[in-house]
Amino acid sequence: MMTQITQLNDLDSGWAWQPWEPSEQEPWDRRRAALLLRRAGFGATESEIQAALQKTPAECIDRMFQIEGDETAQFEVESSELAASMIAGGEAKSLSIWWLHRMLHSPQHLLEKMTLFWHGHFATGAEKVLDPDLMLNQNKLLRRYALGDFRAMVHGIAKDPAMLIYLDSVTNRKAHPNENFARELMELFCIGEGHYSEADVQQLARCFTGWEIRRKNFRFNPYQHDSGMKQLLGTEVETGESAIDQVLAHSKLPYFIVRKLFHFFVCDEPKPTDALLEPLANQFASDGLSVSGVLKKILGSRLMLSNWCMARKVRSPVELSIGLMQTMQVTSNLAQLSNRLQEIGQALFFPPNVKGWDGGRAWVNSSTLVGRANLVYQLIRDDKTRFAGGSLNDWLQKQAISESDAFLNWFSDLFLAVPISDAQRMRLRKSIEGQSGDRMFREMISLLAAMPQFQLS
Amino acid sequence: MKTTNATRRKFLGGSFAASAGLAIGSPVPGPWMRALASGVSNSERILVVIQLSGGNDGLNTVIPYSSDEYRKARPKLAIAKNDVLKIDSDLGLHPSLGGASKLLEQGRMSIVQGVGYKSPNRSHFESMDIWHTCSRKEERGSEGWLGRWIGSQSSVKQTDSLGLHLGSEQQPLALAARGVQVPSIASIDQFRLKVADDTQVGDTMLPESNQDLKQMNDDDELLGFLQASTESAIAASKRLEKALKKPDTQSEFPQSGLGEKLRVISRLILAGLSTRVYYVTLDGFDTHSQQPVAHAGLLRQWGDALNAFVQRMERAGQADRILVMTFSEFGRRVQENASEGTDHGAAAPVFFAGCPLSKPLVGSLPSLTDLEDGDLKFHTDFRSVYATVVKNWFEEKSDRVLGESFPTLNLFS
């Protein structure tokens, strides 16, 4: 059996997606549990890591899909109150605070992570939609299907008022169809560029004529609908719904979606071959485009939990900040955080364009690197910042961490995919010389945030 | 090129304290690391690229105001003949392009018409990538055309980064280069590392080696990339802080996103930065619906900012070494849609401004009746436009940058 991965695309796909088993080289330890929990969520506390180590990875993953009912009820009350107060302000920007609060405090980490995935996939920008109510409703739609039925999600999104406004479907009339939504449905949401023709775009746009919004709701206007037959992807269709089904039946669709899931959870680089993705695509197709099965397969796989997989992803701004906050049980000023996330390239509800965030190396440039370090610097120093409700000193004492080396070891295990080197350790020690207590640890965290490893998941 | 530890120490140390705490170690090839002692050359030519993202409606920018076909195709969107800022008896600029029309009058603007490429792709992302890399998806490498030019300059002694992207959006692929990190900077104010304010590391650069990196992960390119990016970020942050210390009291830039970006660029140029390529974008040109107001606003922003920039350079006696190129990933369909907008099209004009240029219009407007899938046909390959920049502006061979040779245009006087 192969245990050492060198080249991703040399891997036997039959091997890669089998359930991972611990071995001498790859034990089920704190670092690996931390890898699984941050990729499938954002960050994990020491006690969450300890709890995970009491189970097998498969049990941990099953559990991620099962959290519901009583455990979430209280949180949902809190969250919907926050949503109401944010909506009342009338600004879509404030909604981001509501979502950051969810990511930070919802017991369903994977659900929030996948909702973020779909937000990037069905990217819709509030700068054009304007109405926060509609943005919130779309977010709820994405969450409803995030771990479930992709087919239902696409049908839902095609009639989602925020999406209709964003891609100009609202004004798609019989006489002159508007191609915007039709194009992106195929190019970015379902099939990928190069697998359909310009004629398909024009025909598909005809199918959606008359899909309008009335008082914030979807409405079909038969007077503006072109009811002629359309040739789409080699088949005759008439209605928008049947056209969506036709797009959903495209043979490239399972590959297009699992490829994105692969990059979101496993690694930024290199690009996987279709051969490597085949078992995932087959499962997604045979599950009738239900997401949970293929997601479980990815998360519990030999590839996902291998040593190779460590440090293969650049943290997104949200992963970086929410991950750090969860690991150190931080609560803080989320309005500030929301502004800073925008500065470093990930404003929730304001993706850069309909393609969403590219991720990987695209997160990184001179500005965002300085911005990431500044974000952590300010977060750690903000008056409102608390660690499990108290001061940093008290929190560290509870963790039985009293000196810098112990902190670095603990931090490396739980938050860094690549441990800091001896040379870096020496330089860090030098730069905090003469400082002690709270101030020293704050300084150290700020310096860590400017290191290359801090950016890797 | 190899940089010694001593040079690195000198370069990264000094007042910019925190840098010492950051680097893992590994000599980084990159313009910031090169030739620290060389002087700044003021006579070097500069290219500023303005990318209009979303697909600018070329037909409502440079308007065939006397054409019946134009009016037929644009019953709601056609610009009235009397409102057009006339260039000649057939063509004129959109009425909100007053700024640009001043540049035309001064002989400091030239419009290349009918630019595009064969079998046009109408996806924003794919077409933009084609413009950035000069290649199709199937044969695409990881470098952009400007990145290839930057990479080819490795023998040139250079104090500052050769390229600089100003903007909060993702760095344009055009600037991607192998082995060189082009900095992207969202705003000058945010571009100061705060932890450096209270950490005193001084010149203490402890022994470091490639082994540091190697130990961590055998083949981790991603970490190497982050290492190089971190060093480039710190160097750029330090340089710009210094360059922008003195305020510029003479500038009058419009208060707009693009105006602010061009204002910063003008200050960097006047501060003597030896950067050769500046890149900025203006987004919002994807006008599928309610085009008139949005398009007019965007064109005004572009024209006014561009005019202010060139005038500022002119007042400083620097305009002759400045070339500003403005392009978009495609034009828009000739026939308007039902939403008072236009869908994705093909051929469109490319604009040059700055130094004295040969004539206002280069090439003719493509026919409005002989269309390809409802779109204007191109007659000038965009790589010919690039070839003109590389060969006649940078005065270097263009085939290495563009993959093959292309005929150049008669652009400069």
Query: Pairing state of beta strands A386-387 and A330-331?
Result: antiparallel
Which sequence spans correspond to the domains of chain A?
167-312, 317-455
Mutate to test the interface with B, among A366, A416, A430, A438 (most CBs of B within 10 A): A366
Nearest to B229 by CA among A149, A435, A366: A366
Q: Which of A171, A377, A455 sits opposite B226 (nearest CB)?
A: A455
Q: Which residues of A touch B374 (CB under 8 A)?
A: none
The larger pLDDT score, comparing residue A52 to residue B177, is at A52
Name which of A370, A374, A424, A430 to mutate to probe chain B: the one with the most chain B Cβ atoms within 10 A of its Cβ: A370
For residue B316, tell me if it sits in a domain: yes
Residue B394 to residue B136: CA distance in whole angstroms: 25
Interface test with A, best of B337, B342, B373 (most A CBs within 10 A): B337
pLDDT digits (tens, 9 = 90+) for B223-248: 888 888 888 787 777 778 777 887 77
Q: For residues A436 and A452, what is the distance between their CA atoms, to the nearest angstrom?
A: 25
Q: Does residue B137 sit within a domain?
A: yes
Length of chain A: 457
> Are residues A412 and A420 in contact, defined by beta-carbon separation less than 8 angstroms?
yes
User: Between A and B, how many residue pairs show a Cβ–Cβ distance under 8 A?
Assistant: 214
Instruction: Indicate the burial class of B147 (C-beta count within 10 angstroms; 0-12, 13-18, 19 or more).
Output: buried
Pinpoint the alpha helices (H) of B1-144.
5-12, 19-22, 68-73, 98-105, 124-133
As given in the structure block, the two tokens for residue B299 are 């064109």
d(CA A367, CA A340): 12
Residue B166 lies in a domain: yes
Contact list in B for residue A450 (CB cut-off 8 A) is 18, 21-22, 193, 195, 230
Per-residue pLDDT, averaged over B350-358, amounts to: 96
Closest C-alpha to B262, from B277, B279, B245: B279
Percent of chain B with pLDDT over 70: 82
B326 touches chain A (CB under 8 A): no
CB within 8 Å of chain A, chain B residues 2-21? 17-18, 20-21
Domain count for chain B, please give it: 1
Calculate how close chain A gets to B301, using CA atoms only, in Å: 18
* Range 304-323 of A in CB contact (< 8 A) with B: 310-312, 314
Using CB atoms, which residue from B122, B217, B338 is nearest to A178?
A: B338
- Model confidence over A62-100: pLDDT tens digits? 999 988 767 789 999 999 999 999 998 888 889 999 999
Question: In the structure, what pLDDT confidence band is assigned to residue B44 with cuts at 50, 70 and 90?
Answer: confident
Residue B332 included in any domain:
yes
Name the nearest CA neighbour of A187 among B128, B124, B142.
Answer: B124
The C-alpha of B206 sits at a distance from chain A's nearest C-alpha, in angstroms, of: 7
Mean pLDDT, residues B92-110: 97
Interface test with A, best of B24, B209, B241 (most A CBs within 10 A): B24
| B75 lies within 8 A of chain A by CB | no
Query: Which 8-state DSSP code applies to residue B152?
Result: T
Asked if A366 and B288 come within 8 Å (Cβ–Cβ), the reply is no
Q: Is A369 on the interface with B (CB under 8 A)?
A: yes
Going by C-beta distance under 8 Å and a sequence separation of 6 or more, which residues neighbour residue A217? A161
Instruction: Answer yes or no: is B237 within a domain.
Output: no
Q: Are A112 and A102 in contact (CB under 8 A)?
A: yes
Strands (E), B168-223: 184-185
In this structure, what DSSP letter does residue B393 have? I
pLDDT band at B168 (very low <50, low <70, confident <90, very high): confident
**C-beta separation of B286 from B242 below 8 A:** no
Q: What is the CATH number of the domain that holds B364?
A: 3.40.720.10
Structure tokens at B214: 């190697």
pLDDT digits (tens, 9 = 90+) for A316-362: 999 999 999 999 999 999 999 999 999 898 999 999 889 999 999 98
* Domain carrying residue B278: 45-188+244-402
**Phi, psi dihedral angles at A311 (to 5 degrees):** 60, 25
Q: How far is A268 from chain B (nearest CA, A)?
A: 9
Chain A positions in Cβ-Cβ contact with residue B187 (cut-off 8 Å): 367
Distance between CA atoms of residues A231 and A237, nearest Å:
6
- Check the CA dihedral B393-B396-B402-B405 and report its sign: positive
Q: What is the pTM of this model?
A: 0.81
At A200-218, the pLDDT tens digits run 999 999 999 999 999 999 9
Instruction: Answer whether A282's CB lies under 8 Å from A254's CB.
Output: yes
Enter the DSSP assignment of B408: P
Which of A:421-450 have CB within 8 Å of B?
421, 423-424, 426-428, 430-432, 443, 446-447, 449-450
In chain A, residues with a C-beta closer than 8 Å to the C-beta of B183 are 365-367
The per-residue pLDDT for B410 is 93
Concatenated DSSP letters of B250-309: S----SSHHHHHHHHHHHHHHTT----EEEEEEE----SSSHHHHHHHHHHHHHHHHHHH
CB distance B198–A443 less than 8 Å? yes
Contacting residues of B for A362, CB less than 8 Å apart: 170-171
Q: How is residue A303 written in tokens?
A: 């590839």
Q: At what angle are helices A240-248 and A198-207 packed, to 10 degrees? A: 140
> To the nearest whole number, what is the mean pLDDT of chain A?
94
Closest-CA distance of chain B to residue A453, Å: 7
> Given pLDDT bands bounded at 50, 70 and 90, which one contains residue B198?
low
User: How does residue B159 score in pLDDT terms, banded at 50, 70 and 90?
Assistant: low
How many angstroms separate the CA of residue B202 from the nearest CA in chain A?
A: 9
Q: Do B194 and A201 touch (CB under 8 A)?
A: no
